[in-house]
Structure 1
Amino acid sequence: MVVVVNQQFIVENKPGAGGVVGLETLIKSPPDGYTIMISTSSWSTAAALSKPSFDPVSDIAPVIEIGFNPLVLSLHPSVPAKNPRELIALAKARPGQLAYATPGIGAITHLAMELMLHMAKIDLLSVPYKSTGATTTDLLAGRTQLILGGLVPLQPYIQAGRLRPIAVTTAKRWHSLPDVAAMAEALPGYEVESWFGIVMPKGVPPAVLERMNAAANKILRDPDVKKNLEGEGMAIVGGSAEQFSKRIRNDHGRWVKLVRDAKLKGE
């Protein structure tokens, strides 16, 4: 990006509240084109639960969706289910007895699991942790039975046979896990993608927004960039700011509806 737009960037990390802290900082910044944010879908889910002081849809200016990853539903080998249908049947036979690990209330992995529970009408025990590493440690030890997490961090354990993947959250099966079912095969209409994108403060001049979108699209077409992103398991998207805006609007609306319908509570 530095080379393409001929502008130096200062990177400032603003962790906290599933990305909500970073988004609040962005929204309070002047819309002069000098502040951008690399955003993930987690702030959309976190904002649906936390009810922040800003509107996560109308108070930002989406620039471009970089790409997305699937989440993977993986089980401890002691759980006999081999696919999502078998897991749903097992959960109905043992309500509240199977525990799933989540790295925090409001994370996309948490709400994606809650969406599955709501659609399947099953009850699992939610065990929240403070970090992704802690969720994996307890799952591998058998203290919890399942996890819905990113493909890249779980893949080493899947390849070693220490976890069994039974579903991906994308609408169709994922190319690197062709034998693993899509959740939609058991729950028609289920689809969750963990996306990454660039956003700017609301009110940025259209010319600036267009320039940043064009620069980002150019970068995403670079062979080395594509190779690196795809090596991280990402499907590259690109496209227009309008397309990304629609994605954010639809996703946030769905999470708000789930929180309301399933009567979910934040921390």
Structure 2
Amino acid sequence: MKSHRGLAFAIVLASVMCMAVTSAAAQGYPVKPVRVLIASSAGSNPDTVTRAIAGDLSRVWGQQVVVDNRAGAGGNIGAEIAARAPADGYSLFMAHTNHTINASLYRKLTYDLASDFVPISLVALSPFVATVHPSVPVRSLRDLIALARSRPGDLTYASAGTGSGTFFCAEYFNGMAGVKMLHVAYKGGGPALTAIVSGETSVYFTPIATGMPHVRAGKLRALGVTSAKRLPETPDLPAIAETLPGYEMQSWAGMMAPTKTPQPIIDSVHKTIVVVLAMPDVRKRMSELGYIVVGGGPDALAAHIRTETERYAKLIRQIGLPQQ
């Protein structure tokens, strides 16, 4: 009996000590540089979002925020590295759209977004812009649909690769508009953008941050944004949903951490992100880059991941895209 009581006391004492250590660690967090892993290359949407807030996170924390790009395999390499990182709050992960796509696109993944990570904050959304090369004789989405219907399989659309956000934007458009534009896949957003600007392809659903400078320079013609409504920064540019009701496709970026990261640290990181995203200069900076600031908490990010995973699973089935 005494041995059982001793064991029970030891377990309770260990639990209390663990909670105390965790709480103390959270109160002093961070005491060293914080690494944010990004599973994409420099200049990508999640990279741009992370760098837009990294400096201010660093100033609030008083510690350096190191942006660590680990691109490859559609975001799977970086996600696996992040999932295996120490769960101490010093290795965070900026998850993004590809990770909800990959859940259905790949037969087997070495990580699970739901079980290997804990959500912290849905940081931002980023719409795409439907653009055409100026040589394409259309001025509106209705014009594009009419042209595509009159020339089935003739118009080409560029993408950053099969299974990318730019690919799904166009395929979703194909399905809703009842047209068939021919897919031309490139190895990344940079080559795809170069192709549409040079006139190598006809249509490209470009990330707004990288595409709008070319629109303003007259090198591309913008027809509509993929957000549900028009954006304040481009009030004259219609939402595609005005022509195709229900159309909405946006990339997202959300901060996560390896599972078993102490809850007090998760709470601390979330609160800091909310503070940073409320800063007028940060909001202005992100708005100018074409991002919609969200700042939602763990529950909002978890719900968004579930919704997007289901959306892409359905779209992949409709397209008949084979698993990799």
- Tell me the TM-score normalized by structure 1: 0.92
Kept in 2, the 8 Å contact 1:72–1:169? The answer is: yes
Q: CA deviation at 1:127?
A: 0.6
State whether structure 2 residue 127 is matched by structure 1 residue 70: yes
In structure 2, list runs of 5 or more residues that go unmatched: 1-56
In the other structure, the counterpart of 1:187 is 244
Q: In structure 2, what is the Cα distance between the partners aligned to 1:182 and 1:231?
A: 18
Kept in 2, the 8 Å contact 1:45–1:111? The answer is: no
Higher helix share: 2
In the other structure, the counterpart of 1:40 is 96
Q: CA deviation at 1:110?
A: 1.2
Q: CA deviation at 1:7?
A: 4.5
Q: In structure 2, what is the Cα distance between the partners aligned to 1:112 and 1:47?
A: 18
Please list the CA deviations of residues 73-94 of structure 1 after superposition, one character each: whole Å capped at 9, or x if unmatched: 0001222222222222221221
Q: In structure 2, what is the Cα distance between the partners aligned to 1:10 and 1:180?
A: 36
1:32-181 correspondence to structure 2 within 5 Å: 32-51=88-107, 52-181=109-238
- Match for 1:33: what amino acid? G
- Match for 1:24: what amino acid? E
SS in 2 for 1:80: coil
- Match for 2:77: what amino acid? V
Q: CA deviation at 1:185?
A: 1.5
Q: CA deviation at 1:139?
A: 1.6
- Match for 1:196: what amino acid? A
SS in 1 for 2:67: coil
SS in 2 for 1:48: helix
Kept in 2, the 8 Å contact 1:76–1:162? The answer is: yes
Structure 1, 108-117 or 51-60: larger mean CA deviation:
51-60
Q: In structure 2, what is the Cα distance between the partners aligned to 1:10 and 1:160?
A: 34
- Match for 2:75: what amino acid? G
Kept in 2, the 8 Å contact 1:20–1:47? The answer is: no
State whether structure 2 residue 71 is matched by structure 1 residue 15: yes
Q: CA deviation at 1:8?
A: 4.4
Count of residue correspondences: 267
Q: CA deviation at 1:259?
A: 0.5
Q: CA deviation at 1:100?
A: 0.6
State whether structure 2 residue 303 is matched by structure 1 residue 243: no
Q: CA deviation at 1:33?
A: 2.3
SS in 1 for 2:69: coil
Q: In structure 1, what is the Cα distance between the partners aligned to 2:192 and 2:295?
A: 32
Q: In structure 2, what is the Cα distance between the partners aligned to 1:141 and 1:7?
A: 44
Kept in 1, the 8 Å contact 2:106–2:323? The answer is: yes
Kept in 1, the 8 Å contact 2:233–2:287? The answer is: no
Q: CA deviation at 1:9?
A: 4.0
Q: CA deviation at 1:10?
A: 4.0
In structure 1, list runs of 5 or more residues that go unmatched: none
- Match for 2:80: what amino acid? E
Question: Could you say if the C-alpha distance between residues 180 and 252 of structure 1 is closer, same or farther in structure 2, counting changes exceeding 3 Å?
Answer: same
What's the RMSD between the two structures over aligned residues? 1.9
Identity of aligned residues (%): 36
- Match for 2:116: what amino acid? D
Kept in 2, the 8 Å contact 1:101–1:139? The answer is: yes
In the other structure, the counterpart of 2:45 is none
Which of 255, 259, 264 is residue 321 of structure 2 equivalent to?
A: 264
- Match for 1:87: what amino acid? L
